Copies of this chain bind each other. A is one copy, B any other.
């Protein structure tokens, strides 16, 4: 056992952290104020602030770009973007870097490492045709455009993917998309130029071969952002989450990724690393909340003492210290399992982090809010937005309950087998 990060992982994590502290955090305050002013004035809050592009350029210059890109890919894009920052880090190596990015809401975007673009790029790299790669992967890796992933639906319990009602019907050389999706992250941003849409192609096929993934140019007729949603009162500009309708969207069948009926197969490979990223970012967010709590506890005074010396505050801080450390190790371990035995072998581990980490982050952030008093729930501190972020991850990418079911199924499998033989 060796818990040290690799040299390059450590180096990149430190440089990412330094960049966030020096460049992103100050810019974030400016951007937040500007977005608030735009909203208050009834102006469009969605276009990304010009500071984002400036920060992206600086980050790219320093080689802090597309760090999420995993090793193991071949072909022109892997190579080309490898020299441009595509680093081929293992999941375990990327994890500490993602933790640092989680400290800030803008950092993932600045480093071209934000969801759902990362997952979409991975899908294209692994399953995309040459043409699909040229059209969409290249500009995504270059940061010129952004993308969305259209999966969850408002009308059904999307925790059960077989409930999906949207369709991707093949009609000769075309595929015709219909349906309504929501919680489509990124569709608020005017730079969002493409989406990966998931829909039913063949309802008669076996359970996991019914659905296709289709690349949808976002300005195509029939695609409409019906509205932007808030989650726990947060709009998360300039990324945002929207409700999107697709009405008779006709596209060439070549827009289907990897061929009809392969959506589940593609989704499976996408989800493991994506969940590791999400969870590591939440570890970073929780760590930052704990830092803020410690800062507050030692500088704010009540009843003649710093808050740290009142009641159970120290115990709460200590419990948060333990909880974050446990969660970080669990994610590191899951990342290492993904690296060593693959998605299928790490299925329980990935579901375990998806259950454990968002709840941990909610708890730690909630504690930090409480220590900050009224300020903690206001927009003066990033804590209530952090809470909203962590809380939404108990639902996004599969609710806790679905992941608990997966864990239990895998855990009980040998016992159930044995019992059925008895």
Contact = CB atoms under 8 A, between A and B. Distances in A.
Given A154-B375, A373-B399, A415 B297 contact: yes
A266 B336 CA distance: 38
Contact of A315 (B182, B312, B422): B312
Contacts of A392: 377
Interface centre among A313, A379, A419 (most CB of B within 10 A): A419
A298 B234 contact: no
A247 B92 CA distance: 57
A234 B233 CA distance: 6
Contacts of A8: none
Interface stretch (A18-26, A53-61, A404-412): A404-412
A336 B4 CA distance: 10
A347 interface: no
A394 interface: yes
Interface centre among A318, A337, A377, A394 (most CB of B within 10 A): A318
Contacts of A71: none
A402 to B, nearest CB: 8
A308 B314 CA distance: 15
A47 to B, nearest CB: 16
A17 to B, nearest CB: 16
A299 B411 CA distance: 15
A222 interface: no
Contact of A307 (B157, B315, B409): B157
A156 B102 CA distance: 30
Interface in A46-72: none
Interface residues of A, number: 100
Interface string A367-389: 00010011111110000110110
Given A326-B327, A392-B377, A1 B232 contact: no
Interface centre among A3, A229, A299, A422 (most CB of B within 10 A): A3
A32 interface: no
A99 interface: no
A319 B370 CA distance: 17
A294 interface: yes
Interface centre among A297, A301, A376, A408 (most CB of B within 10 A): A408
A326 B310 CA distance: 26
A208 B160 CA distance: 37
A404 B318 CA distance: 6
Contacts of A307: 157
B401 A157 contact: no
Contacts of A310: 401
Q: Which 8 interchain pairs have the tightest Cβ spacing?
A: A233-B233, A42-B42, A312-B312, A314-B408, A157-B302, A160-B302, A318-B407, A329-B329
17 contacts: A154-B375, A156-B301, A157-B373, A160-B302, A163-B302, A183-B374, A232-B387, A232-B388, A233-B233, A233-B385, A299-B415, A315-B404, A317-B411, A318-B411, A325-B330, A329-B330, A373-B395
Interface of A: 1-6, 39-43, 92, 152, 154, 156-160, 163, 182-183, 229-234, 290, 294-295, 297-303, 306-308, 310-319, 321-322, 325-327, 329-330, 332-333, 336-337, 348-349, 352, 355-356, 370, 373-379, 384-385, 387-388, 391-392, 394-396, 399-401, 403-405, 407-409, 411-412, 415-416, 418-419, 422
